[in-house]
Amino acid sequence: MAKKKAIPYTKCSICSRLADVESAFQKYGWEEDNTYLPAAAGKLMLVKDFKPYSSRKLQLQQCPQCKTYYLYETDYEFLVNGSEDEEYLRRLSEEEAAEYLAK
């Protein structure tokens, strides 16, 4: 039986909608200035959670279609007048993904 060849991320219906690096920023009380990750980011699957009990996330995620890996990170700053939340999503090379999988 022939092995199914993976489709490149540029032809994937999920990954083709994601840039190599995506970021988003939300600030409580300033909703009009908030930005969000593209909807396609929500279709990625969690592979490894490197900080499972932390409010700051560091996760290895993977596309269910083309199997491309991504690193997802969050950060926040608590301020008296409202918190600032940041999200980052970065497409990984095969070598980078292998390093995270080995952790």
Q: DSSP character for 11? A: G
φ, ψ for residue 98, nearest 5 deg = -60, -40
Question: What does the DSSP assignment read for 16-48?
Answer: GGS-SEEEEEEETT-GGG-----GGGGGPEEEE
pTM for the whole thing?
A: 0.86
Whether residue 3 lies inside any domain: the answer is no
Whether residue 1 lies inside any domain: the answer is no
pLDDT of 7 > 60? The answer is yes
Whether residue 8 lies inside any domain: the answer is no
- Domain count of the chain? 1
Whether residue 45 lies inside any domain: the answer is yes
Whether residue 9 lies inside any domain: the answer is no
> Of 80 and 39, which is predicted with more confidence?
39
φ, ψ for residue 59, nearest 5 deg = -135, 145
pLDDT tens digit sequence for 54-89: 889 999 999 999 999 999 999 988 776 768 899 999
Task: Round to whole Å and give the CA distance between 97 and 92.
Answer: 6
- Quick check: helix, strand or coil at residue 73? strand
- State the residue range of the domain holding 24: 14-102
* 10-14, 31-35, 67-71: segment of lowest average pLDDT: 31-35
